[in-house]
Amino acid sequence: MNSINNVEVYQLANLSHFQNNYKIKIWLKYLTKDGTQPCESQEVEVILDRNKAQWLIDRINNIEQKPDCGS
């Protein structure tokens, strides 16, 4: 297993929105110690907690992993 040096969010897309709920797609790039850069996309549903004034992750779906960002 590779050790990860850094994780980079390299793209975001708003998929849907209803009141205080959003569904977004996030693309992540993992920068590993051995120089590989596997990528992952996932759909994340978030809800605004008005009492704490912060966004909470409600659900993560449709995770897709690739060996690199170019494929």
Is 48 a member of any domain? yes
Q: What is the value of pTM for the model shown?
A: 0.78
**Residue-number span of the structural domain to which 22 is assigned:** 4-66
The answer, yes or no, to whether residue 2 has pLDDT greater than 70, is no
Do residues 67 and 38 make contact, with C-beta atoms less than 8 angstroms apart?
Answer: yes
pLDDT-based confidence at residue 43 (cuts at 50, 70, 90):
very high
Domain count, the chain: 1
Residue 50 in any domain: the answer is: yes
pLDDT of residue 45: 97
- The answer on pLDDT for 14 being more than 60 is yes
Give residue 1's pLDDT. Answer: 55
- Residue 35 pLDDT > 90: no
Sheet with 21-32, strands from edge to edge, namely 4-18, 21-32, 39-49, 54-66
